[in-house]
């Protein structure tokens, strides 16, 4: 009779087969009440799942990420049940879990309205309150096809018909509603305590634009009201910070439909910020021992065949253009170009490591539906660099890259990192020995820097292990930016060499690394992180000079010249408008400092200083102002 081993190392023995819920009860009534599912030998099952043999068991509650997913998935069923109740002619299709929530696609004769969503949500609440048991049953495939066809659910029948013959199909029933599902599910609908429907959108059946349009209803679900409210607040905050809106308000960038989707136009104010970012990047890299290269935007297709991109990366590449009986490929990456520079001459072990950086603009194919502001584009600039080094230099080079990454990202106010180390996948190139050595070097570099990381076993690219660094922005959202990728493939394909100490030809190791990732995307993240309130060192306009009457015009021009001479980015507003109006306007443009000039300031050779947050710093001379600004710029707002 079963002996059940629990995660804390203890085990319990039972005289007869038991359900997951029985085991939870045996441990304690609190756990029985909290149990949402079980994990039997690593497989998720319902709480009613019967255990007849010795097994490992973990009770899943809403404290586990899997438990939260089960709640979300069950909320999708609840949504479908409510829709079928209110709109019996709607047909159900699929309803998966997504990040922070779920959706369900329905075939319906019209679009759902906001009023419908409200009614559906209300019905969901009633069904949850009724605490209907959620029960699993099994049917043969063909029987299940008949079953759903008889109910008029053509889409479900089609999905089931595409499952291989002879397989048993599991169904979940709650009240009158039955859905095809692998499960597991919560024991009863009352376990869904905090949810909200967020929006409705069109979606094609099976994602194919040749198929009919379905109605997709999105929702979010959480273990409790506090977490739900925190998430909804984050959504509102994200909306308020949307980089597309702030980008237009502050005249930073645009995407011009006349030019094509996913192609970014940096306006003068956005380009100012970009130049500050780039200058800082070059300065840090130069200090860290990097050199810089500049390479073309297109190259002979043969190069991309040698590199392998024409094969394994072709889906992201534009069609080549023909000229002079040759095919030229627009570059999706900079790597092969840097390899060509390396190969242009013979290197000795003494030359290594070589660290070559480039702000390299690349073009990649993206479906128009996937494009999103600056976050997902077709043309973007990578803050790229490649390091060519010896095997014994991997660890110290990785340490250098990690230090540089943290210094760079911290300067932009990011102090919270989530790091992943991805190791050898099943299909890979390179010997086991080199993979092992390289992976150990990455691990050791992370540990020497005292950085916590998550291991993604088998998650590396086929050509080498990598480290990914995600940042968390001001409202807690994660963004993937930096990647450090080792590569055993390109040096082989390009037959790269260096002359070793013992005069042998050896292969260098290649490290790809981008710290911002894409400048465009990083700019989008920055806009949202700061909600457009850029710290002084980044602000496109750092100061605005505002005159009270035209009597101060020439004094204002003197102040302007003096500040510009110090390299500050200054606007001047001599318009014949009320000072309150001018202050409001430049505050809305999020200019950090406003200098108000009246007769008194002119007579005493001072400026009256206000901040964009409304603080009045009083009058001061230019020297006092400049030393304040210098200190603030040097601190980068941190
Ligand atoms: Zn389900
Ligand atoms: Zn590369």
- The 10s digit of each residue's pLDDT in 513-567 is 999 999 999 999 999 999 999 999 999 999 999 999 999 999 999 999 999 999 9
pLDDT band at 207 (very low <50, low <70, confident <90, very high): confident
Q: Give the containing element (helix H, strand E) for 382.
A: strand 379-389
Give SS3 for 610: strand
Question: Active site residue: 466, 521, 582, 586, which one?
Answer: 466
**Quick one: pLDDT at residue 522?**
97
**In 3D, which of 330, 264, 291, 229 has the Cα closest to residue 520?**
264
**Quick one: pLDDT at residue 476?**
87
Name the residue with higher pLDDT: 338 or 164: 338
Mean pLDDT along residues 188-193: 95
**Quick one: pLDDT at residue 565?**
97
| The two structure tokens encoding residue 286 | 């130069």
Spacing, Cα 198 to ligand 1 middle (Å): 20
Ligand minimally distant from the alpha carbon of residue 180: 1
Question: Active site residue: 384, 468, 473, 487, which one?
Answer: 384
Mean pLDDT along residues 426-450: 92
Can you tell me the distance from the alpha carbon of 612 to that of 46, in angstroms, rounded to the nearest whole number? 56
Spacing, Cα 191 to ligand 1 middle (Å): 15
Spacing, Cα 68 to ligand 1 middle (Å): 13
Rg over alpha carbons for the chain, rounded to the nearest Å, is 30
Cα–Cα distance list, 143 to 92, 323, 500 (Å) = 18, 61, 70
Residue 297 has pLDDT above 90, yes or no: yes
Mean pLDDT of the chain: 95
Mean pLDDT along residues 592-610: 97
Question: Judging by beta carbons within 10 Å of its beta carbon (0-12, 13-18, 19+), is residue 127 exposed, middle or buried?
Answer: buried
Q: Are 480 and 517 in contact (CB under 8 A)?
A: yes
Instruction: Say which DSSP state 348 is in.
Output: B
Spacing, Cα 90 to ligand 1 middle (Å): 18
Can you tell me the distance from the alpha carbon of 433 to that of 441, in angstroms, rounded to the nearest whole number? 12
Ligand minimally distant from the alpha carbon of residue 510: 2
**Quick one: pLDDT at residue 73?**
96
Q: Is residue 505 annotated as a catalytic residue, yes or no?
A: no
Q: Which residue has the tokens 């790809």?
A: 512
Spacing, Cα 180 to ligand 1 middle (Å): 7
Ligand minimally distant from the alpha carbon of residue 95: 1
pLDDT band at 370 (very low <50, low <70, confident <90, very high): confident
Strands 177-180 and 354-363: unpaired
Q: Please state, for a pLDDT cut of 70, what percent of the chain lies above it.
A: 100
The pLDDT tens digits of the residues spanning 148-157 come to 999 999 999 9
Ligand minimally distant from the alpha carbon of residue 80: 1
**In 3D, which of 563, 540, 551, 553 has the Cα closest to residue 609?**
563
Q: Is residue 448 annotated as a catalytic residue, yes or no?
A: no
Number of helical (H) and strand (E) elements in the chain, helices listed first: 20, 35
Mean pLDDT along residues 156-171: 89
Mean pLDDT along residues 603-611: 97
Q: Is residue 364 annotated as a catalytic residue, yes or no?
A: yes
Beta strands in 83-192 (DSSP E): 91-92, 97-98, 101-107, 135-140, 168-174, 177-180
Mean pLDDT along residues 372-381: 96
Spacing, Cα 192 to ligand 2 middle (Å): 46
Q: Is residue 553 annotated as a catalytic residue, yes or no?
A: no
Residue 209 has pLDDT above 90, yes or no: no
Q: Which residue has the tokens 């800082």?
A: 280
Sign of the alpha-carbon torsion through 435, 439, 440, 441: positive
Spacing, Cα 295 to ligand 2 middle (Å): 13
Can you tell me the distance from the alpha carbon of 138 to that of 124, in angstroms, rounded to the nearest whole number? 26
Spacing, Cα 423 to ligand 2 middle (Å): 18
| The two structure tokens encoding residue 254 | 């645009």
Can you tell me the distance from the alpha carbon of 9 to that of 572, in angstroms, rounded to the nearest whole number? 71
Ligand minimally distant from the alpha carbon of residue 79: 1
The pLDDT tens digits of the residues spanning 306-350 come to 999 999 899 999 999 999 899 999 999 999 999 999 999 999 999
Question: Active site residue: 309, 364, 513, 612, which one?
Answer: 364
**In 3D, which of 104, 73, 70, 68 has the Cα closest to residue 231?**
68
**Quick one: pLDDT at residue 568?**
97
Residue 216 has pLDDT above 90, yes or no: yes
Cα–Cα distance list, 551 to 533, 554, 593, 597 (Å) = 32, 8, 22, 10
Spacing, Cα 514 to ligand 2 middle (Å): 8
Strands 55-60 and 3-5: parallel
Spacing, Cα 367 to ligand 1 middle (Å): 30
| Residue 397 CA neighbour count, 13 Å, CB half | 26
Question: Judging by beta carbons within 10 Å of its beta carbon (0-12, 13-18, 19+), is residue 136 exposed, middle or buried?
Answer: middle
The pLDDT tens digits of the residues spanning 406-428 come to 999 999 999 999 999 999 999 88
Residue 206 has pLDDT above 90, yes or no: no
Question: Active site residue: 241, 512, 582, 612, which one?
Answer: 512
Mean pLDDT along residues 395-405: 96
**Quick one: pLDDT at residue 165?**
83
Q: Is residue 466 annotated as a catalytic residue, yes or no?
A: yes
The pLDDT tens digits of the residues spanning 66-107 come to 999 999 999 999 999 999 999 999 999 999 999 999 999 999
**Quick one: pLDDT at residue 368?**
83
Ligand minimally distant from the alpha carbon of residue 333: 2
Residue 208 has pLDDT above 90, yes or no: no
Can you tell me the distance from the alpha carbon of 294 to that of 555, in angstroms, rounded to the nearest whole number? 45
Strands 454-456 and 417-422: parallel
Spacing, Cα 113 to ligand 2 middle (Å): 47
Q: Is residue 384 annotated as a catalytic residue, yes or no?
A: yes
Q: Is residue 309 annotated as a catalytic residue, yes or no?
A: no
Residue 275 has pLDDT above 90, yes or no: yes
pLDDT band at 638 (very low <50, low <70, confident <90, very high): confident
Q: Are 491 and 456 in contact (CB under 8 A)?
A: no
Can you tell me the distance from the alpha carbon of 122 to that of 293, in angstroms, rounded to the nearest whole number? 61
Cα–Cα distance list, 89 to 120, 138, 616 (Å) = 15, 26, 64
In SS3 terms, 202-265 reads as EEEHHHCCCCCEEEEEEEEEECCHHHHHHHHHHHHHHHHCCHHHHHHHCCCEEECCCCCCCCEE
Ligand minimally distant from the alpha carbon of residue 464: 2
Q: Are 450 and 407 in contact (CB under 8 A)?
A: no
Can you tell me the distance from the alpha carbon of 461 to that of 383, in angstroms, rounded to the nearest whole number? 20
The pLDDT tens digits of the residues spanning 484-519 come to 999 999 999 999 999 999 999 999 999 999 999 999
Spacing, Cα 387 to ligand 2 middle (Å): 9
Residue 629 has pLDDT above 90, yes or no: yes
Question: Active site residue: 382, 393, 485, 542, which one?
Answer: 382
Spacing, Cα 491 to ligand 1 middle (Å): 48
Instruction: Considering only the C-alpha atoms of the chain, give the largest distance between any 2 of them, rounded to a whole number of Å.
Output: 98
Question: Active site residue: 77, 185, 274, 386, which one?
Answer: 386
Residue 367 has pLDDT above 90, yes or no: no
């Amino acid at each position: 009779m079963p002996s059940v081993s629990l995660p804390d190392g203890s085990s319990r023995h039972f005289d007869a087969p038991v359900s997951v819920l029985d085991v939870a009860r045996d441990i304690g009534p609190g756990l029985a009440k909290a149990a949402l599912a079980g994990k039997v030998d690593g497989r998720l099952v319902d709480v009613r799942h019967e255990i007849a043999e010795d097994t490992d068991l973990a009770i899943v509650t809403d404290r586990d990420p899997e438990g939260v997913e089960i709640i979300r998935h069950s909320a999708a069923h609840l949504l479908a049940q409510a829709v079928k109740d209110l709109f019996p002619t709607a047909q159900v299709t699929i309803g998966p879990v997504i990040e922070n929530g779920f959706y369900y696609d329905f075939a319906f004769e019209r679009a759902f309205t906001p009023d419908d969503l409200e009614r559906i949500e209300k019905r969901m609440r009633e069904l949850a309150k009724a605490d209907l048991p959620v029960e699993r049953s099994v049917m043969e495939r063909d029987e299940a096809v008949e079953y759903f066809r008889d109910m008029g659910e053509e889409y479900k029948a089609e999905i089931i018909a595409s499952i291989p013959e002879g397989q048993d199909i599991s169904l979940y029933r709650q009240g009158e509603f039955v859905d095809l599902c692998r499960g597991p599910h919560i024991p009863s609908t009352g376990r869904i305590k905090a949810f909200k429907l967020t929006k409705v959108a069109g979606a094609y059946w099976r994602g194919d634009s040749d198929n009919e349009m379905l109605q997709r209803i999105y929702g979010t679900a959480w273990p409790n009201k506090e977490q739900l409210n925190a998430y909804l607040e984050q959504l509102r905050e994200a909306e308020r910070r949307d980089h597309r809106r702030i980008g237009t308000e502050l005249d930073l960038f645009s995407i011009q439909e006349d030019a094509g989707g996913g192609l970014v136009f940096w306006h003068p104010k956005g380009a100012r910020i970009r130049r500050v970012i780039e200058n800082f990047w070059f300065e840090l890299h130069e200090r860290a021992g990097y050199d810089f290269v500049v390479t073309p935007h297109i190259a002979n297709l043969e190069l991309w065949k040698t590199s392998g991109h024409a094969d394994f990366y072709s889906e992201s590449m534009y069609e080549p253009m023909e000229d002079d009986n040759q095919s030229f490929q627009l570059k999706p990456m900079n790597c092969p170009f840097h390899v060509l520079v390396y190969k242009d001459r013979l290197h000795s072990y003494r030359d290594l490591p070589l660290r070559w950086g480039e702000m390299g603009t690349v073009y990649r194919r993206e479906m128009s539906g996937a494009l999103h502001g600056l976050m997902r584009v077709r043309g973007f600039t990578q803050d790229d660099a490649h390091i060519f080094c010896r095997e014994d230099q991997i660890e110290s080079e990785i340490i250098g890259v990690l230090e540089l990454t943290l210094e760079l990202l911290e300067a932009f106010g990011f102090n919270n990192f989530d790091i992943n180390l991805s190791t050898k996948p099943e299909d890979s190139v390179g010997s086991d020995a080199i993979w092992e050595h390289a992976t150990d070097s990455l691990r050791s570099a992370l540990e020497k820097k005292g950085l916590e990381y998550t291991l993604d076993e088998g998650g590396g690219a086929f050509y080498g292990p990598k480290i990914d660094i995600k940042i968390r922005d001001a409202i807690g959202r994660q963004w993937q930016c930096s990647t450090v990728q080792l590569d055993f493939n390109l040096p082989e394909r390009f037959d790269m060499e260096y002359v070793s100490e013992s005069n042998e030809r050896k292969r260098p190791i290649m490290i790809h690394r981008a710290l911002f990732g894409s400048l465009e995307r990083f700019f989008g993240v920055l806009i949202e992180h700061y909600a457009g309130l850029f710290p002084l060192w980044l602000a496109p306009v750092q100061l605005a000079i505002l005159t009270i009457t035209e009597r101060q015009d020439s004094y204002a021009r003197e102040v302007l010249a003096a500040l510009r001479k110090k390299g500050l980015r200054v606007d001047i507003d001599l318009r014949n408008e009320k000072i309150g109006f001018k202050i409001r306007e430049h505050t809305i443009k999020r200019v950090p400092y406003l200098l108000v000039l009246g007769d008194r300031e002119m007579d005493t050779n001072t400026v009256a200083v206000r901040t964009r947050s409304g603080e009045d710093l009083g009058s001061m001379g230019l020297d006092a102002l400049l030393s304040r600004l210098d200190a603030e710029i040097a601190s980068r707002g941190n």
